[in-house]
Amino acid sequence: MTVTMQRPDSRANNALRPISFQANVAPHANGSVLVSFGDTRVICACTIEEDVPRWMKYQKVKGGWLTAEYNMLPYSTLDRKARDITRGKLDGRSSEIQRLIGRSIRSVVDLKALGHRTLWIDCDVLQADGGTRTASITGGCVAVAIALNKLVAEGKLKKSPLKQLVAGISSGIYKDTAVLDLNYPEDRDASVDFNVVMTEDLNFVELQGSGEEATFSAQQMAQMIELATEGVQQITELQKKAIADADKPDGDSLADLAAAFS
């Protein structure tokens, strides 16, 4: 008799958690979205500054820049997470993740075509249940697309410098089985954890994988990458719809945000 491994939330091994995008949740940002991967929820906002970093001016680098900041709000986890400012320094994990978000989205933006501008991507985790970095990349890309589309609509750019979409997803080995989109219990107990960032045309931007006091085979790695590729294909279709819908009047965004937590 064959025993099928059951995931904590009963999903199939290749199934994503329910994913949603609620656009325009931050009225003062140029583009924003509340992205949800199951119970992981992140507000991603893009603010456009009509200036570039000092180092670009000194080095006479043409074009613009894109950078990201990542933060887990104190109430995003079961035990309160202290704010970085109370410790007097940025948490090492947060620093690593915000660099990942920045370089992931820069890989699909034509910075020269952006012009003398800086795109600030702020990702604030409201609720963490695994995959906050990949959700931030995925939502951050949507926020950037919305913001750049507004620049085009205002006549400040002839076309969007966003060349294609980028998304992130996790995969791993849980109970000796390759699974897609790990939630917190799976992430905690996985023997191998992979974070995969890919472009819309399924080229890799970044692979982050490690065994948690375990090793993994080439076959297992191929299985995890195959699952991640299938996941990104589905996610980019959801991103496209979210970006297209963002320009449609949708009532009170703050009310919609409240409804997302009801």
Give the tens place of pLDDT for each residue, 64-118.
999 999 998 878 877 787 777 666 667 788 899 999 999 999 999 999 999 999 9
The boundaries of the domain holding residue 200 are 19-254
Give the tens place of pLDDT for each residue, 119-171.
999 999 999 999 999 999 999 999 999 999 999 999 999 999 999 999 999 99
For residue 237, give the amino acid letter: E
pLDDT at 134: 97
14 in a structural domain:
no
261 in a structural domain:
no
9 in a structural domain:
no
Q: Quick one: CA dihedral 93, 98, 99, 104, positive or negative? A: positive
6 in a structural domain:
no
Give the tens place of pLDDT for each residue, 159-212.
999 999 999 999 999 999 999 999 999 999 999 999 999 999 999 999 999 998
Distances (CA, A) of 130 to 40, 223, 229, 256: 7, 20, 19, 24
105 in a structural domain:
yes
Residue with tokens 């109370």: 86
Residue with tokens 């059951």: 6
The domain tally of the chain equals 1
Check whether 252 has a pLDDT greater than 90: no
Q: CATH number of the domain that 77 lies in?
A: 3.30.230.70
- Rounded Cα gap, residues 205 and 161, in angstroms: 18
At 223, give phi and psi (nearest 5°). -65, -45
Paired sense of beta strands 19-23 and 118-127, if any:
unpaired
Tokens found for residue 132: 């906050």
pLDDT at 254: 45
Tokens found for residue 11: 């999903």
Percentage of the chain modeled with pLDDT above 70: 91
4 in a structural domain:
no
91 in a structural domain:
yes
Check whether 249 has a pLDDT greater than 70: no
10 in a structural domain:
no
At 260, give phi and psi (nearest 5°). -65, -20
pLDDT at 250: 54
Collapsing DSSP to helix, strand or coil, 204 comes out as: strand
- Rounded Cα gap, residues 102 and 96, in angstroms: 10
Burial (0-12, 13-18, 19+ Cβ within 10 Å), 31: buried
In terms of pLDDT, which residue wins out, 224 or 84? 224
Burial (0-12, 13-18, 19+ Cβ within 10 Å), 191: middle
